[in-house]
């Protein structure tokens, strides 16, 4: 038996540089894993079979419509297992228990993280001996974020998401994640269809944050240091899709309405959304925010989480 944790992520930066010849968009992003996570457990078996369990998901989440009797052949976990089996010629299979806690289609990367955890877990279970680079290359054939989740932590991501450069871990930050109740069919495809040259940027914001992370020296910070000496990245956060949401069509009106009602600044979009996050150095600040400012927003799923390496 092998267990793998599949963490969620946020994009600290997400810039769209331009359109590629293959039809995808070229991005620059710094991505960070957080401790909201799914859990996958793997056992040897003659064929590939998935047993999903859904825990603590928003009531509106589409995953709640599924159970272990559904055919999971289109699930990214199954597809990741199948591509690994086919590419390596492995003759057996696996029973895969998927305990799902990350909300789907929220911008937190749950499906991609599950796929990456499947590649890593089965690589161990089947004793294939593939490197992370080899697994990331396989993952890139299934989805853009999967390569990042093979490495996790703090990474710079480029290309369409398949080029990953691990960075040193940032000091722990606390996040309040808010899942705004908004359902949009083919969300990512629809978002990118609205992106033209108006939304392109040079990647400079991502490079600036990358340099800040590389130059940070925690050893220079003592217990007597002032708050200004802390590793602060709030002013470096950026997501192109926030502009798309604010300038977009009527389908984004629900998101904009909640964004205004919440009256929390600055809130940043997690990936392609509709989840948003607020970044803090103090867990207590977020607890106070949930208890005293957000208690009337019962329809919004709230998570207090932190960054993980």
H/E/C letters for each residue in 248-262?
A: CCHHHHHHHHHHHHH
Q: Which of 38, 61, 114, 145 is catalytic?
A: 145
- Distance from C-alpha of 272 to C-alpha of 106, rounded to nearest angstrom: 7
Instruction: Compute the half-sphere exposure of residue 43: CA atoms within 13 Å on the CB side of its CA.
Output: 7
DSSP letters of 214-280?
A: HH--GGG--TT--GGGS---GGG-EEHHHHHHHHS-GGGHHHHHHHHHH--SS-EE-TTSS-EEEEE
- Distance from C-alpha of 181 to C-alpha of 58, rounded to nearest angstrom: 8
Q: Which of 9, 85, 120, 301 is catalytic?
A: 9
Give phi and psi for 295, each to the nearest 5. -65, -20
Smallest CA-to-CA distance from 121 within 29, 52, 182, 40 is with: 40
- Distance from C-alpha of 192 to C-alpha of 201, rounded to nearest angstrom: 14
Residue 212: active-site member = no
Residue 62: active-site member = no
| Residues that are catalytic | 9, 145
């Amino acid at each position: 038996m092998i267990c793998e944790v599949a963490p969620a992520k946020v994009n600290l930066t997400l810039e769209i540089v331009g359109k590629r010849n293959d039809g995808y968009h070229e991005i620059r992003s710094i991505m960070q894993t957080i401790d909201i996570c799914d859990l996958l457990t793997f056992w040897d078996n003659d064929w590939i079979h998935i047993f999903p369990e859904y825990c603590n998901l928003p009531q509106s989440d589409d995953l709640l419509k599924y159970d272990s009797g559904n055919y999971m052949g289109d699930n990214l976990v199954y597809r990741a297992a199948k591509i690994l089996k086919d590419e390596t010629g492995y003759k057996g299979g696996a029973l895969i228990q998927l305990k799902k806690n990350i909300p789907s289609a929220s911008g937190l990367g749950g499906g991609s993280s599950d796929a990456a955890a499947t590649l890593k877990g089965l690589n161990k279970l089947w004793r294939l001996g593939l490197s992370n680079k080899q697994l990331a290359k396989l993952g890139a054939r299934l989805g853009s974020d999967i390569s990042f989740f093979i490495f996790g932590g703090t990474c710079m991501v480029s290309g369409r998401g398949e080029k990953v450069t691990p960075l040193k871990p940032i000091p722990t930050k606390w996040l309040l994640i808010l899942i705004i109740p908004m359902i949009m069919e083919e969300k990512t495809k629809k978002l990118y269809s609205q992106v033209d040259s108006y939304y392109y940027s040079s990647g400079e914001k991502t490079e600036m944050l990358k340099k800040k992370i590389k130059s940070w020296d925690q050893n220079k910070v003592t217990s007597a240091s002032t708050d200004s000496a802390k590793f602060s990245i709030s002013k470096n956060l950026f997501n192109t899709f926030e502009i798309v949401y604010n300038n977009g069509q009527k389908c984004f009106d629900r998101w904009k309405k909640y964004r205004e009602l919440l009256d929390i600044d600055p809130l940043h979009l997690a990936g392609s959304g509709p989840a948003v996050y607020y970044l803090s150095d103090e867990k207590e600040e977020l607890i106070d925010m949930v208890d005293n400012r957000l208690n009337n927003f019962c329809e919004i799923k709230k998570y207090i989480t932190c960054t993980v390496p």
